[in-house]
Amino acid sequence: MNARRILGFTALLATMFGGGMLFQEYGVSMMQKTTYQELQEPLLLEVYEPEAQQRDYHILPAGTALYKDYSFPEGHTRYIVYVNIKAPVAMRTVVDERPNLTVPLWGEPVGREDLPRLLADTPVSKEDLVRILKARKMTREDLAQIVREWKD
């Protein structure tokens, strides 16, 4: 009786061990994984306010996680960016009669022609500037031209 019990317990342990090995080999890959895009260069965000005379630009830093939401037939894709807010901030609640309304910002890579205005009007870190220059494949001559045209 005692030997049967030990044999049964050993078989149970072997089965559990084998099941664990199979789960680790095949079950983990079946579990849900998170997929996102990570910005490799800063992204220029355009904020257009209809009552404003000019458009306002901001920078989304390199390394920001973007979660794909929807690809439109027109050729652009909408992404979600999650923001943790550390303290209360002034906000207003807007109720719109259109169901499922989404009001997106527009983002685009920083272009060569955007760089002088960006450097003059937007705080850009040295690391972000290097990433922009490398992504646009700008030469030292291009950069020297921008510096020559820089208005203080």
pTM: 0.59
Contact 36, 98 (CB under 8 A): no
- Domain borders along the chain are 1-33, 37-149
Rg (CA), the chain: 27
List, run by run, the mean pLDDT of 10-residue segments along the chain (152 residues): 76 79 69 86 78 70 92 93 90 89 84 74 72 75 74 61
Rounded Cα gap, residues 36 and 70, in angstroms: 13
In this prediction, residue 52 carries a pLDDT of 59
Contact 59, 42 (CB under 8 A): yes
Contact 72, 146 (CB under 8 A): no
In this prediction, residue 64 carries a pLDDT of 93
In this prediction, residue 84 carries a pLDDT of 92
CA atoms within 13 Å, Cβ hemisphere of 149 = 11
